[in-house]
Amino acid sequence: MIKTYIKKLSVLTVILITLGSCDLERLESAQEVADGGGTLDTYTAYTIDSTDPTGSNVNGRIVFWKTDLDQTLVQISLFNTVEGLLHPAILVGGAAGIGTTTMMAIDDVDGSTGELSTNKFFLIADTSFYDALVALDAHVSVSLSTEDDTIVALGNIGANAEPVAMN
């Protein structure tokens, strides 16, 4: 009986020593934002309308966000996209139906989600882009797929359209 008591006491002592020696210091979380970080609260949004001759009715919005570093983030959200396809989106100089010169390829929109396929935002590092957006003579063009350049949606931006939302 004494042997059993000593064994239990030894096991309890080992457990207490092990738990007592662990570092139980509570660390406070870092609540500050990293340099260059912050919230996105300055934006301009435009409508993207369907132009698909087959009637898929792809439509949505393009939103330009200004970062704290004066960069521009582009976000596209589309409805009625074709699942399994990537829909290339580009900025084209001139108004919709008139301009044909590609200014920049944005990214492909994933047909399964209606959002950009690679990242939530496409980065335009040009620090003057956002401030020049209202005077930009351009539109966004969305194609059916990477293999079929049929335009399924267009949206005027900048000087060619009034924003649907901005702050």
Read off the pLDDT of residues 75-87 as tens digits, 9 standing for 90 and up: 999 999 999 999 9
CB 102 within 8 A of CB 94: no
- Per-residue pLDDT reduced to its tens digit, 125-146: 999 999 999 999 999 999 999 9
Q: In total, how many domains does the chain have?
A: 1
82 within a domain of the structure (yes/no) = yes
Residue 15: per-residue pLDDT? 64
- Per-residue pLDDT reduced to its tens digit, 49-58: 999 777 789 9
21 within a domain of the structure (yes/no) = no
9 within a domain of the structure (yes/no) = no
Structure confidence at residue 33 as a pLDDT band (50, 70, 90): low
156 within a domain of the structure (yes/no) = yes
Containing structural domain, residue 63: 42-166
Indicate which CATH number applies to the domain containing 52.
2.60.40.200
CA distance 43 to 67: 9
Does residue 3 have a pLDDT over 80? no
73 within a domain of the structure (yes/no) = yes
Mean pLDDT of the chain: 86
How many alpha carbons lie under 13 Å from residue 48 in its C-beta half-sphere? 29
96 within a domain of the structure (yes/no) = yes
17 within a domain of the structure (yes/no) = no
Candidates 104, 117, 115, 114; CA nearest to 57 is: 114
59 within a domain of the structure (yes/no) = yes
Percentage of the chain with pLDDT > 90?
A: 66
Residue 35: per-residue pLDDT? 60
Specify the pTM.
0.76
Does residue 36 have a pLDDT over 70? no
Rounded (10°) CA dihedral 157, 91, 118, 84: 90
Residues 34-39, mean pLDDT to the nearest whole number: 61
